[in-house]
Amino acid sequence: MKILVPVKRVVDYNVKVRVKKDETDVELDNVKMSMNPFDEIAVEEALRLKEKGIASEIIAVSIGLPEVQETIRNALAMGADSGIFINCTSRLEPLSVAKILTSICNKIKPDLVIMGKQAIDDDMNATGQMLSAMLNWGQATFASKLEIQDKKIKVGREIDGGIENIEVILPAIVTTDLRLNEPRYASLPNIMKAKRKPIDEIKIEDLNIDTEPRLEILKVEEPKSREAGIMVKSVDEMIEKLKNEAKVI
């Protein structure tokens, strides 16, 4: 089984995000970047499938500026076999990313695509679903448990009411949730080995894909500071404040 794992370079989750002075975007200069946490979980799950003898090859793919190759190298250091770097300088929306991944899937023909359910920079949570529709493959989103038997995947997916168990026929798209696993740290020997693993570069122009943006960012603002809460002495007082001051009832 061949597994494709898309990985995205994002602002590290420990960094406090700051808005640029001109309010056109968030500040990325001199900011620590890392692999999207949900994508780390996807890489880890692919590695576990390989360790069980279910998967034979893991390919990490990333799209963006040359710097995203660092993210691919991180996936290779964790244990992925090879990488694909899509060289693209423009901002991409989920639809464009799904188109690119569709082209890659048609080229390398993976049996399974495991990817994070969303990226922590834009929280779109749409690429996996769009990719499934374009490839006409089954999808299992928000996976917190995954088991493969023959040509079927049994997935426990997180929903508001608990865990929903579904079965999907391969090839398929799986998007990972936080509780699926705990990603491993790359060891120093594996980091050194990752430097010798191959990364194929593809220019976005060679894919002949329409990546024209359909959304326009008008302005980026800091969220308003939350006001301190107040103590009330009775239910009646709480209802009165919710009705007359907060005006939510």
Radius of gyration, alpha carbons of the chain: 21
Taking the CB of residue 13, how many other CB atoms lie within 10 A of it?
Answer: 12
At 26 the three-state DSSP class reads strand
Q: Which residues pair with 153 in a beta bridge?
A: 148, 168
Q: Which two tokens stand for residue 102?
A: 């569709």
Instruction: Check residue 214 and report its DSSP letter.
Output: S
According to the model, what pLDDT value does residue 27 have?
85
| Confidence at 249, pLDDT banded by 50, 70, 90 | confident
At 105 the three-state DSSP class reads helix
CA distance 160 to 137: 25
Is 81 a residue whose pLDDT tops 90? yes
Instruction: Check residue 170 and report its DSSP letter.
Output: S
Q: Which two tokens stand for residue 187?
A: 């060891």
According to the model, what pLDDT value does residue 215 have?
86
Is 17 a residue whose pLDDT tops 90? no
| Confidence at 44, pLDDT banded by 50, 70, 90 | very high
Is 216 a residue whose pLDDT tops 90? no
Instruction: Give the type of residue at 20.
Output: K
Q: Which two tokens stand for residue 87?
A: 């060289």
pLDDT one-digit tens code per residue, 146-166: 999 888 999 999 888 889 999
According to the model, what pLDDT value does residue 10 have?
93
Could you report how far apart the first and last alpha carbons of the chain are, in Å? 55
Q: Which two tokens stand for residue 62?
A: 């990333």
**Positions of E strands within the chain:** 2-6, 9-11, 33-35, 57-64, 82-87, 112-116, 138-149, 152-159, 162-169, 172-176, 199-203
At 172 the three-state DSSP class reads strand
Is 24 a residue whose pLDDT tops 90? no
CA distance 219 to 224: 15
Mean pLDDT calculated for residue range 23-40: 90
CA distance 33 to 217: 22
Kindly report whether the global pTM for this prediction surpasses the value 0.95. no
130 φ/ψ sector (left φ>0, alpha ψ -120 to 50, else beta): alpha
Residue with token string 């710097």: 67
C-beta separation of 157 from 164 below 8 A:
yes
Q: Which two tokens stand for residue 249?
A: 């009832």
C-beta separation of 93 from 215 below 8 A:
yes
Q: Which domains are assigned to the chain?
A: 2-244 (3.40.50.620)
According to the model, what pLDDT value does residue 150 have?
84
Q: φ and ψ at 71, to 5 degrees? A: -65, -40
